[in-house]
Structure formats: structure tokens, C-alpha cells
Structure 1
């Protein structure tokens, strides 16, 4: 009798666990942000090169 009651209790507990059915989880895609250097990075290297050339000419 104890086994019958235990089996009935386990069956009832197992059936209520799936009462809502399966619902696929919602997965959001990560947001990718790209940082741009802008136009300020384009003139720094030529300006430094010009300063080095001007210092070399002034040293002679």
C-alpha cells in the first residue's frame, strides 16, 4: 500500500512539472559597438614627421 501511495505521489508531481509545456528561451544578440578614430588620427603622423625633418634641417 505504501508503494502505491508513493507511486501516485511521484506521478502527480511529475505531471505538474510539465504543465506549462516547453517554451523556447529568448536569446538576445549582443550589441557590437565599433569605435572610430575619426579624422584626428590622419594628421598626427605627418605632423610628427614634418617636425622631425624641420629639426634635422635646423640642426645643419
Structure 2
């Protein structure tokens, strides 16, 4: 009888044991910084080429 009570107590204790919380873990988001580029850098090369072509046409 004592073994039955001990087995029942251990089973009850083992079944109610929980490894942690049931709530979702809070995970910090990873911040990725990207180097900022100027929007005028994309237009600078075509404008320079246009000026060079215009100078070549004007000198001919």
C-alpha cells in the first residue's frame, strides 16, 4: 500500500512539472542598418555624360 501511494505521488508530481512558462518567448528583432546613399548620386553620371556630349556637339 505504501508503494502504491508513493508511486501515485511521484506520478502526480512528475505530470504537473513544467519546464518553463507557456507564454511565447520575447525575442528582440535584429536591426540591420544599410548604408544610406544619396538619391542625387544616381543622376550625377547621366548629367555628366549629357554635358560631355553637349560639349562635343557644340565644339563640332
TM-score range, shorter chain: 0.3 to 0.5
Give the TM-score of the pair, scaled to structure 1. 0.47
Give the TM-score of the pair, scaled to structure 2. 0.47
